[in-house]
Amino acid sequence: MAIICIILDKNLMNRELVINVTPSEITIALCEDKVLVELNKEQCQSGFAVGDIYLGKVRKIMPGLNAAFVNIGHEKDAFIHYLDLGGQFRSLQKVVDSRQPGKRGVKVETMRLEPATEKNGKIASYLQVGQTVMVQVAKEAISTKGPRLTSDISLAGRNVVLVPFSSKIFISQKIRSTETKKRLRQIAANVLPKNFGVIIRTAAADAHDVDIEQDILSLIERWNQAVGNIRKNTAPALLISEMSRANTIIRDSLNSTFSQITVDDETMYREIKSYIKIIDPQLEKIVKLYKGTVPIFDNFDISKQIKSLFAKYVSLKRGAYLIIEHTEAMNVIDVNSGNRTKAEVNQEETAMEVNLAAAKEIARQLRLRDLGGIVIIDFIDLHKVQNRQLLFNEMTQLMASDKAKHTILPLTKFGLMQITRQRVRPVAVQDVTDVCPTCNGSGRIEPTILLDRKIENQIQFLAEDRGVKYIRLRVSPYVASYLTKGIFSIRNRWVMRYKVWISIVADQSLGMVDVKYLSRNGESLIE
């Protein structure tokens, strides 16, 4: 297990990034002032993540949709629409074709670009069944849908985004200074080869010239690596993968305000430290190795908050609450004042107070659950126009820090607010839930009174049949207290009886009857 904890203080806000890595998956929790605001969960080495570049083979053309299905190795065929081919698809395909066996290959910087694709063209004019294409994952597989692809390929770095088959230099709109824009444009122009363009990110404004230049050169090297891998592979195949989600977040967010990065896995510790050394050597010293025995999510009070992620009801202060419903078509959030009562003359004031508190929590929940698509919010009715406008402005400001693309519409006369939010990954709630392993979906669990006997049987098996001398039991805090209570505790009796050392660790993420039997190194002893 590995954990990374990043503490960020910006505008008097204490931000923490806690990353829990297990052999099978990685969970990333972002907290602001100890409150969980984002949760990402992905399978380790699963592939098909946003940003991954693949060599795919066209499986089927759909003229009615003006789209095609492409095999990139995923269990479900990936989808690409005509508009996702990009303006320079012909040039990209020329490079791909030139890298086939027996071909010499062409370089982007020396080739003559092909004419741009038509805005209103047909996909059948560019793709045929069996054709090998170079594509990039734009959206991960969600529910029954396979990944969404694009051939408008780009490579993201810390300061810039490299765009092959382009000669344009775009600068983030958040960079206001004309002098800074001129400097950044000149740096990029001096480094970029022919037929390569960039999008200069906001972080570049405070970066050194040499760092920006190095960022561009490293991205060009990654592009050459991807193109070089075409000749070595047969579709479907992964050409280059996006860096881990943890490093991606660090890449996009790391700055001088980060105070601490704590990792409890030595391999991950070295990886993160090496990466930070490359992008910002001055911050290398903030990376530390965590050696605590308590689960890190419990230590940082993350486990309880993760459990609240799946709650239908979300409590607010002073009795108010939210009801969050997820459907296939949209997400619906209802704001309720609960049992709050005030004088009748202050109903408008009370409604406004509850709505403002709800808006803050809703902005958090959208990021936390990674809700995408259409979101309908039923606020408490407001009669004053200025209050409606104030609520809209507040929601807009609260959502400004959300990196997902979104659109917020003013309240309707019925008190409804409509939000559309981009979704590129599965909804967090859907992605991290499954059939209950404790009850197997039955809604019933084994008798708790028999739990200690069940644990003892497993300990006896491990100690006597397998010769295990050390067992680390991970159980719920309630079970841990029961097993360790008193001098002649159940745990101590087991130690004496079976001549095996037993360490009991309370884990808030486990259910009442869940038990994990681990070795000293954290490996499972029971398959």
How crowded is residue 233: how many other Cβ atoms within 10 Å of its Cβ?
13
Bigger pLDDT: 242 vs 469: 469
Ranked by mean pLDDT, the top range of 181-195, 339-353, 503-517 is 181-195
Confidence (pTM)? 0.61
In this predicted model, which residue has the larger pLDDT, 351 or 272?
351
d(CA 411, CA 389): 8
Per-residue pLDDT tens for 257-294?
Answer: 666 777 777 777 787 787 777 777 777 887 777 787 78
Q: Predicted confidence band at 253 (pLDDT cuts at 50, 70, 90)?
A: low
- Least confident range of 183-187, 201-205, 485-489, 509-513: 509-513
Model pLDDT, residue 376: 94
Residues 178, 201: Cα–Cα separation, whole Å = 15
- Asked if residues 456 and 494 have their Cβ atoms less than 8 Å apart, the reply is yes
What average pLDDT does range 513-520 have in this prediction?
88
Predicted local distance difference test score (pLDDT) of residue 329: 80
pLDDT for position 174:
84
pLDDT band at residue 334 under the 50/70/90 scheme: very high
pLDDT of residue 473: 92
Nearest C-alpha neighbor of 219 from the set 93, 363, 53, 361: 53
Take residue 514 and report the two structure tokens written for it.
């869940």
Lowest mean pLDDT among 60-64, 160-164, 437-441, 503-507: 437-441
Q: Which long-range contacts (CB under 8 A, 24 or more apart) does 432-441 make?
A: 432/27, 432/39, 432/41, 433/310, 436/511, 437/514, 438/511, 438/512, 438/513, 438/514
For residue 347, the model assigns a pLDDT of: 81
**Three-class DSSP labels, 272-326:** HHHHHHHHCHHHHHHEEECCCCCCHHHHCCCHHHHHHCCCCEEECHHHCEEEEEE
Tokens of 320: 């108010």
Q: Is the pLDDT of residue 423 over 80?
A: no
Does residue 188 register a pLDDT over 50?
A: yes
Write down the H helix ranges in 99-241. Answer: 178-191, 209-232
- Residue 66's pLDDT band (boundaries 50, 70, 90)? very high
Rounded-to-integer distance, Cα 28 and Cα 39, Å: 6
pLDDT band for 511, please (50, 70, 90 cuts): confident
**Residue 63 near residue 124 (C-beta atoms within 8 A):** yes
Residue pair 476/511 in contact by the 8 Å Cβ criterion: yes
Compare 449 and 404 and report the one with higher pLDDT. Answer: 404
Q: Helix 451-460 to helix 477-484 angle, to the nearest 10 degrees?
A: 70
Residues 17 and 28 sit within 8 Å (Cβ to Cβ): yes
Separation CA 131–CA 57 (nearest Å): 6
> What value does the mean pLDDT of the chain take?
82
Look at residue 421 and tell me whether its pLDDT is greater than 60. yes
**Whether the bond into 447 is cis, omega within 30 of 0:** no
Bigger pLDDT: 94 vs 414 = 94
Fold assignment, 448-518: Hypothetical Protein Ychn; Chain: A, (3.40.1260)
What's the pLDDT score for residue 69?
A: 95
Q: What percentage of the chain has pLDDT greater than the value 70?
A: 85
Per-residue pLDDT at 308: 66
Residues 26 and 246: beta-carbon distance below 8 Å: yes
* Rounded-to-integer distance, Cα 34 and Cα 14, Å: 7
Dump pLDDT digits (tens) for 218-233: 899 999 999 999 988 8
Coil vs helix vs strand at 217: helix
Instruction: Please state, in angstroms and as integers, the Cα–Cα distance from residue 297 to each residue in 264, 265, 293, 366, 481, following that order.
Output: 12, 14, 11, 21, 19
Dist. CA 471–CA 524, nearest whole Å:
10
In b/e form, how buried is each residue of 323-332, taking b as 16+ CB within 10 angstroms? ebebeeeebb
Q: Check pLDDT > 60 for residue 5.
A: no
Q: Which long-range contacts (CB under 8 A, 24 or more apart) does 81-85 make?
A: 81/123, 82/121, 82/122, 82/123, 82/126, 84/138, 84/148, 84/149, 84/150, 84/151, 84/152, 85/117, 85/123, 85/126, 85/150, 85/151, 85/152
Q: Is the pLDDT of residue 143 over 80?
A: no
* Spatial contact of 402 and 423, defined as CB atoms under 8 Å apart: no
What value does the mean pLDDT take over residues 201-212? 86
DSSP for 324-383 reads EEE-SSEEEEEEE-TT----GGGHHHHHHHHHHHHHHHHHHHHHHHT--EEEEEEPPP--
Three-class SS of residue 475? strand
Question: Residue 63, Cβ neighbours under 10 Å: how many?
Answer: 10
Confidence of residue 65 (pLDDT cuts 50, 70, 90): very high
Most confident range (mean pLDDT) of 251-265, 422-436, 457-471 is 457-471
At 256 the pLDDT is 60
- The closest alpha carbon to 148, from 13, 49, 57, belongs to 49
Whether the CB-CB separation of 510 and 473 falls below 8 Å is answered with: no
Amino acid of residue 102: G
Is-contact 32 13, C-beta < 8 A?
yes
CA distance 485 to 508: 18
Q: What is the mean pLDDT of residues 125-132?
A: 93
Nearest residue to 66 via CA among 82, 54, 77: 82
How far, in Å, CA of 307 to CA of 305, rounded?
Answer: 5
The neighbouring-strand residues paired with 68 are: 61, 80
The percent of the chain in helix, strand and coil, each rounded to the nearest 5, is: 35, 25, 40
What tens digit of pLDDT does each residue of 427-452 get?
555 444 555 655 666 666 556 567 88
Average pLDDT over residues 496-503: 92
* Cα separation values, 112 from 108, 115, 166, 178, 334, Å: 8, 10, 12, 33, 57
Amino acid 184: pLDDT: 93
Runs of H (alpha helix) within 345-489: 347-369, 385-398, 428-431, 451-460, 477-484
Q: Answer for the pair 61, 123: CB distance below 8 angstroms, yes or no.
A: yes
Could you tell me the pLDDT band of residue 425, with boundaries at 50, 70 and 90?
low
Taking the C-alpha atoms of residue 486 and residue 424, their distance in angstroms, rounded to an integer, is 52
